[in-house]
Chain A
Amino acid sequence: EPEVTQTPSHQVTQMGQEVILRCVPISNHLYFYWYRQILGQKVEFLVSFYNNEISEKSEIFDDQFSVERPDGSNFTLKIRSTKLEDSAMYFCASSERNTGELFFGEGSRLTVL
């Protein structure tokens, strides 16, 4: 069964460092998303991406965040200069259409020290 895969599963980084989280969406999907969940809190929308551009983003997705689809398979989330409060589980998702079921990856846990 096709699935969304994310790497790394866990990353520990120093405050101020750049981090790239990688996602491989399901191959025929066209819409891609990043969500984050601070431990013990709700899952929050970060950004949606379609046709090689951001289609929507939340207030959380400020200038330190960027997304990219560098090739036909990967979808990345970059955090330029990490802060302590960026520590969270980051979920990638993809969908075939802009409405309908989102398929989520297992998540990448980011710990900023």
Chain B
Amino acid sequence: SQELEQSPQSLIVQEGKNLTINCTSSKTLYGLYWYKQKYGEGLIFLMMLQKGGEEKSHEKITAKLDEKKQQSSLHITASQPSHAGIYLCGADFLTGNQFYFGTGTSLTVIP
């Protein structure tokens, strides 16, 4: 079963535009993690959220976790070509040792 769903699957934006990527879980998370991946390369850790309602920012990227801990959003302000890549949400849950990944969102930023 798919534990984490991401939307949209792909996104093409003009440089300077804002964008949002969503990640939804079918059950309550323990922790929610955002990673970025350049096509065919490794995973770069961006942010981790563990408390309901938590919000974290790093440079122009802001991630939020809802109060119920089932949904997270990643918001990029004034996107740049360097933001291009695949964004993956990941999560662990209170039961089990698995860490699940979302389906990924491919972001293209057009200069």
- Give the chain A neighbours of B98 by CB distance below 8 A: 45, 48, 56, 58
A107 to B99, CA, bound (A): 17
Main SS at interface, chain A = strand
B-side interface mostly: strand
Q: Are A101 and B41 touching (Cβ within 8 A)? A: no
| B42 close to A106 (CB less than 8 A) | yes
Q: Per-residue 0/1 for A20-44: is the Cβ within 8 Å of any B Cβ (1 yes, 0 no)?
A: 0000000000010101000100111
Residue of B nearest to A31 (CB): B97
Q: Contacts of A106 on B, CB cut-off 8 Å?
A: 41-42
Chain A interface: which of B14-22, B60-68, B70-78, B88-96?
B88-96
Neighbouring B residues of A48 by C-beta, 8 Å: 97-99
Q: Are A104 and B40 in contact (CB under 8 A)?
A: no
Q: Is the CB of B96 within 8 A of A42?
A: no
List residues of chain A with CB within 8 A of the CB of B88: 43
Q: Which residues B19-37 have CB closer than 8 A to chain A?
A: 30-31, 33, 35
- A residues at B contact (CB < 8 Å): 31, 33, 35, 39, 42-45, 48, 50, 55-56, 58, 89, 91, 93, 98-107, 109
